[in-house]
Amino acid sequence: MRRNSLYFAGGIGSTLAIAAVIEITGGLPSQLAHLYYIPVVISALMLPAKLRLTVALLASVAVSPLPDLLHGPLGLNTYYDDPAPWNLSSGGWIVRPVAFFAVSTVASAIIKERAAKAEAEAGAKLLGERLIQERTAKHITMATSKHRGKELNLLSRIDKMILGGATETEALREIARLTAAFTGSPVAGIVVPDEHGKLLQMFYGHSEASERLAEERLPIGEGVSGWAIMHGTVATSPNVFNDARYMKMAEFARRAGYTSAAAAPIVLDDEVLGALFVGRADEHNFTSDELATLQRIADQTAIAVASARQRHSLEELAHETAIALSDAIESRDPYTGDHCSRLAEYATLTATALGLAAKDVQSIRLGAALHDIGKITVPDHVLKKPDKLTPDEYAIIKQHCYSGGQICKRVPFLHVAYPIVYHHHERFDGRGYPDGLKGDRIPLGARIVTVVDAYDAMTSDRPYRKALPLAEAETILRDGTGTQWDPEIVDTFLSAMDTAAKREPTLSRLEHSLL
């Protein structure tokens, strides 16, 4: 309202001012009469109908013959007496007022139309922006749900690994690999305190660089991993080279190829076992969603570790029980000594060298320890007979495979040992017992146990002979490949023993003690 009054006063005032200037400069006709369009047009643009028409009316009066009513008495020029053609003396003066009113009416309509169009365009733009915003929100939702789907897939793969009986080492290595693939990070791994609790160790990095650095010890408490382990919370660094926690680790980070890093603690029963770590090549501010995902994977890692440790404890219990049983049986024959324990170690060494899965290695270890458990049913006078056995006595001895198999069948945690215990006297050429199986049809664990059983028997003292030298036992094993034993297993066993003897002095001592 106040705005309209100002524009109206301006319109009236400027019209009167133009009229005064024209009168002072000699009155009409005057080129200055065109100036009346200024207040008329501005009023048409800015004022409501009544006010703008009032301005147009005043301008019309100013250019009309009406001022002549005053001009005569004052002795001034009159419009009608002016002969100039532009004065429109034949009544044409009406054209200008008509133009004023036309501008006041039409200009307003044009402005309204333009305003409506502008408003429509603004509305369309707004709608467009809203559509873009909605589409963006939809894309974000889709991306988030896709991201969440990938995360669930990763967590489910960890679950399957837990149920599949992976060992702690296998689980950690696979989780590090999956995390690196999921986050697209060149470096990822599990960092755990070492046995002295003084250093950190980078385990199972995914990238080539981190694999090279996998065994490198790091100062405890340093970096985001050290922080996560010490404080039990997620830690992140957008640029490790500007981070005080990396003062001692900057060189390591440079060699490992990461600039930004994040770590989540792996907590099991209120104890921080380690940290799940990811490193990116670029500077990066990890979002709260990314950190929450990292923590969820770390939590799942803790479950995997707990499950693997529990299973390992049960397996150890089963193995110790098996060894105790075997020892009880062996005690009837003092010459066999730690035969079953040694067999279990040799079989484990061979199975590992063959690249078998950890749970298969564990089954073979158990089977090797238990292989002669069936001898519990063999009478002493047959088992300990130093002389040649009669056919009937030999038949009784052969029964120990069947008896041992039956024992394994009755005890749930010994089921996995059944094929080994039952078939450990088969021969590679099919001339063994109890079923006369040949070649690859003999269970792998049983083929391994026949080799290591023979090796241990030859390299141990017996009532009727002294132990053979290792070289002689090796020759006998090699001569018997393809007939009594599987050639691949004999090769693998002997080379694994050779490698282990060079690497492990304890095993070497064990071998010497057998001489």
* Closest to Fe ion by CB, 338 or 372: 372
d(CA 263, CA 225): 5
* Closest to Fe ion by CB, 214 or 397: 397
Contacts of 111 (CB under 8 A, 6+ apart): 44, 45
Sign for the CA dihedral angle at 28, 32, 37, 42 comes to negative
* Closest to Fe ion by CB, 193 or 434: 434
* Closest to Fe ion by CB, 272 or 343: 343
* Closest to Fe ion by CB, 372 or 456: 372
Angle between helices 288-330 and 95-163 (to 10 degrees): 10
Q: How far is the CB of 401 from Fe ion (least distance, A)?
A: 7
Q: Which residue ranges make up the site for Fe ion (CB under 5 A)? A: 372
d(CA 279, CA 207): 10
d(CA 481, CA 458): 16
Q: How far is the CB of 300 from Fe ion (least distance, A)?
A: 44
Q: Contact, 47 vs 23, CB < 8 A? A: no
Q: How far is the CB of 339 from Fe ion (least distance, A)?
A: 10
As a whole number of Å, the CA-based R_g of the chain is 50
d(CA 92, CA 104): 20
C-beta contacts of 345-349 below 8 A and 24+ residues apart: 346/452, 346/455, 346/456, 346/493, 346/497, 347/445, 347/448, 347/449, 347/452, 349/493, 349/496, 349/497, 349/500
Q: How far is the CB of 375 from Fe ion (least distance, A)?
A: 7
Q: How far is the CB of 434 from Fe ion (least distance, A)?
A: 11
Q: Is 482 left (phi over 0), alpha (psi -120 to 50) or beta?
A: left
Q: How far is the CB of 421 from Fe ion (least distance, A)?
A: 9
d(CA 464, CA 478): 24
Question: Which of 365, 340, 339, 341 has its CA nearest to residue 352?
Answer: 365
Q: Find how far residue 322's CA is from the centre of its chain.
A: 42
Q: How far is the CB of 374 from Fe ion (least distance, A)?
A: 8
Sign for the CA dihedral angle at 62, 64, 68, 71 comes to positive
* Closest to Fe ion by CB, 222 or 372: 372
Q: How far is the CB of 358 from Fe ion (least distance, A)?
A: 26
* Closest to Fe ion by CB, 53 or 420: 420
Contacts of 318 (CB under 8 A, 6+ apart): 366, 413, 414
Q: How far is the CB of 166 from Fe ion (least distance, A)?
A: 32
Question: Which of 379, 209, 212, 328 has its CA nearest to residue 280?
Answer: 209
Q: How far is the CB of 402 from Fe ion (least distance, A)?
A: 11
d(CA 332, CA 372): 13
Q: Is 239 left (phi over 0), alpha (psi -120 to 50) or beta?
A: beta
In the complex, residue closest to Fe ion by CB: 372
* Closest to Fe ion by CB, 372 or 486: 372
Q: Which two tokens stand for residue 1?
A: 């309202």
Q: How far is the CB of 513 from Fe ion (least distance, A)?
A: 23
* Closest to Fe ion by CB, 108 or 326: 326
* Closest to Fe ion by CB, 252 or 493: 493
* Closest to Fe ion by CB, 23 or 372: 372
